[in-house]
Amino acid sequence: MSSGVRLEGLEKSFRGPTGPIRAVRGIDLSIAAGETAALLGPNGAGKSTTIDMMLGLAKPDAGQVSVFGRSAREAVDAGLVGAMLQTGNLIRDLSVRELVTMMAGLYPDPMDVNETLELTGIGAIASQRTHKLSGGQTQRVRFAIAIVCNPDLLVLDEPTVAMDVEGRREFWNIMREFASRGKTVLFATHYLEEADANADRAILMAHGRIVADGPTTEIKARVGRRTLRATLPAIDPATLAQLPGVASSERHGDAVTLSCSDSDQTIRALLQAYPEAKDIEIVGAGLEAAFLELTGEPDLEDAEVTVP
Ligand SMILES: Nc1ncnc2c1ncn2[C@@H]1O[C@H](COP(=O)(O)OP(=O)(O)OP(=O)(O)O)[C@@H](O)[C@H]1O
Ligand SMILES: [Mg+2]
């Protein structure tokens, strides 16, 4: 059990209309048993493709998947893995309880059906037909199906899509409760806030690669920077980079842009040293914007961002 999940050199391309789409371009990743990790990235980053290979649903073009020392397929068949995929409908014309019971019957060591219904908050809709559920209720039933095999690894691909705010909050509470039983969890999301609140670790993907990987606190610190812009001709950006609280600086014509880890310190020092600076603006990198900065830049495509 201690080996957790290992992905080594994973690659996957799809045939696209104008040539191959390199969805996953070499992923190396270990997730320790008991860890909760979030997989973050914009649309098309390769999150679902990676997850599909981890679950044995897609065959890698290159590389290896090992789940608790087994192949993906073996681990899934043994009931060690529960998954909530991004797409897929519930089987129709069954009650929620019948469906969860049927799924439990497929595995060697399932959870108690009543416990599952209760834990996932669908006890009250247990006798409802699966095709008459709301979007959020459907998501809960899909979650129940994912955990009813009592998996050691839970894989969730954007699980809170279609849930309202309250539904999301409840969902994450249940997920954390489940994770606290010593489970390994990997979930894909677009929201850094969700990762921050519910994972120990954030893995950022862009263009089929991992571009940052670290404790959520470090990722947040990294993207929590502010940007200071000012009109300040004739000062070398390297000199400005020496100001306190500045992480990096660049110049475009008369304008300088300073990326600040502590913009309060920077603005004081800047005005003291260069009182001629004008048109000053400081903008907080919103999480989304900061995230795009980390993952969206074309020149990141071949770079690895190291989180300090
Ligand atoms: N079955 C497929 N056939 C062709 N191309 C595919 C297929 N599945 C995925 N792709 C392409 O591979 C790339 C990665 O897709 P993937 O679904 O892994 O991204 P994602 O990170 O999960 O995105 P999202 O946040 O939108 O779910 C995309 O360019 C997508 O169009
Ligand atoms: Mg996806």
Distance CA 41, CA 32 (A): 21
CATH architecture of 5-215: 3-Layer(aba) Sandwich (3.40)
Residue bearing the bigger pLDDT, 43 or 123: 123
Cβ-contact 225, 283 below 8 angstroms = no
Structure tokens of 116?
A: 């599952």
Res 56: pLDDT: 94
Whole-model pTM: value is 0.78
Distances (CA, A) of 198 to 39, 147, 176, 214, 216: 12, 17, 7, 14, 9
User: First and final CA of the chain: distance in angstroms?
Assistant: 30
Res 147: pLDDT: 95
Nearest CA to ligand 1 atom 17: 48
Ligand 1 centre to CA of 104 (Å) is 30
- Where are the chain's structural domains? 5-215, 225-284
Nearest 10 degrees: CA dihedral of 184, 190, 194, 198? 10
Judged by DSSP in three states, 291 sits in: helix
In sequence order, the β-bridge partners of residue 289 are none
Nearest CA to ligand 1 atom 8: 49
Nearest CA to ligand 1 atom 7: 14
pLDDT band at 299 (very low <50, low <70, confident <90, very high): very low
* Chain center to CA of 9: 19
Structure tokens of 267?
A: 């603005």
Structure tokens of 103?
A: 């799924």
Q: What is the pLDDT of residues 166-221, one digit of tens each?
A: 889 999 999 999 899 999 999 999 887 888 889 999 998 988 999 888 887 777 66
Judged by DSSP in three states, 197 sits in: helix
Ligand 1 centre to CA of 44 (Å) is 5
Structure tokens of 39?
A: 């997989």
With a cut of 70, say whether residue 286 has pLDDT above it: no
Pocket test for ligand 1, best of 12, 40, 47 (most atoms within 8 A of CB): 47
Domain 225-284 adopts which CATH fold?
Alpha-Beta Plaits (3.30.70)
Query: Residues whose CB is under 5 A from ligand 2 (ion)?
Result: 47-48, 86
